[in-house]
A = this chain, B = another copy of it.
Amino acid sequence: MNKKKFAIIGVAGFVATRHLNAIKETNNHIIAALDPKDSVGILDKYSYDIRFFTEFERFDRYLDKIKRKGKGINYLSICSPNYLHDSHIRYALRMGINAICEKPLVINAKNLDSLIALEKETGTKVYTILQLRLHPSLITIKEKYKNTKNTHEIELTYITPRGNWYDTSWKGDISKSGGITSNIGIHFFDMLIWIFGKVKHYEVHYTDNKKISGYLKLETANVKWFLSTDKNDLPTDNYKPYRNINIDGTNVEFSTGFTDLHTKSYEHILKGEGFGIKDASDSINLVHNIRNTKVIKPKKEHIHPLQIKKINTLKWNTTNTNRHSLTKM
C-alpha cells in the first residue's frame, strides 16, 4: 500500500504527539509542519526530513509547490488552537486535501455551515477525532444501553487540575478555546449523546473560569455534570485527574485504554470510516449552547453532588450568560 503524505499544523502543543504517533503507527509520512512556536525538537523523534515552518504563508508556498509537482500531501492534521480550526480546515479543503482536525471542529456551531458547503464544492472531507467512541469500555456500554427504554440517571465528573499557565494561555481565553466545556468537556458530551441520544434539555448551574456544572436531559438519560480544572475540587490530595461516570449508581471504569485511540481514529479515517462534521455537530451545538445560556437557580435534585456541597456559598443571578453569572457572597 502506498504511504500517505501528511502535513500538520500545531506541533508545539501536547496533543500533536498523539497525531504524530498515529501517523507513524499507521505507517504513513509526515512531510511538513507549521507552528509559530519553534520549540519543536519533538519532530526529530519521527523524522529528520520534515520541513518546518513558523509562518503560514511559507507553509502554504511549500504545500502548493509540491502539489504542482504531483507530490502533494494527502491529509492535513490540525492541532492548532481551537478558534483557528475552521480556517485551517478551509485551507485544506480549498487545496483539495482532506482535513483531520482535533476536537472541537469549531467553537461557534454556525461555522460548521461553511465547512459543509466547502466539502461539497471541493469534493474533500473533514474528519474529526472523537476517540471515546473507539474506547472498548464505552463501546460495551453503548451496546448495553442500545435498546434501553428507561431513563438512566448519570453523574459525570471530570476534574483535571491546571496551574495558572492555563488561564494565561489561549486555553484560558474563552474566545480562543470556547472555555472548559469545549476544552475538556466536549468528549464526554459527545460520548453521552452517542450512547443515550439527542439533547432534550440543558441547564447551567454554576460557572467560573475554573469550573462549570449543570444538568442535561438526553433521550434515555438525565445527566448531572461537573467539569473542573481546580485542584481544590479533587477528592484526594494526589493531584491526579479524576474522571468518573456513574450510571444508575454504578461507576464505569474507563481510566485505562486511552493510549492508542488516536491511532485507532487514524486507522478509521484512512479506511474512509472516520467521523465527520455530522457526527460532531450535536456535541458542538450543545457546548455552544451551554456557553451562551444563562445560569439558572436549579432544582436541588438536579445539582451535581460536588456542586451541592458549595451551594450555601452561592447566589444565583439570572440576568447574564454563564460567564459572568455568579457572585460569591
A residues whose Cβ falls under 8 Å from a Cβ of B: 12-14, 33, 37-41, 43-44, 47-58, 60-61, 64-65, 68, 83-84, 86-88, 90-91, 94-95, 111, 113-114, 117, 161-166, 168-171, 231, 239, 317, 319-320, 324, 327
Contact = CB atoms under 8 A, between A and B. Distances in A.
A231 B48 CA distance: 8
Given A52-B163, A60-B87, A320-B327, 14 more contacts: A37-B37, A38-B168, A38-B169, A38-B170, A39-B39, A43-B163, A44-B165, A50-B163, A52-B164, A52-B165, A57-B84, A64-B90, A65-B114, A68-B117
Contact of A53 (B44, B53, B168): B168
A61 B168 CA distance: 15
A127 to B, nearest CB: 20
B47 A163 contact: yes
B164 A50 contact: yes
Nearest to A16: B39
Given A64-B90, A113-B68, A319-B327, A165 B38 contact: yes
5 contacts: A44-B162, A48-B163, A55-B84, A57-B87, A58-B87
Nearest to A10: B39
A161 B54 CA distance: 20
A41 B14 contact: yes
Contact of A94 (B13, B48, B55, B94): B94
A320 B315 CA distance: 13
Contacts of A231: 48
A246 B320 CA distance: 37
Contacts of A161: 44, 48
A8 to B, nearest CB: 12
A83 B68 contact: no
A57 B164 contact: no
A205 to B, nearest CB: 18
Contacts of A49: 163-164
Contacts of A84: 55, 57
A97 to B, nearest CB: 12
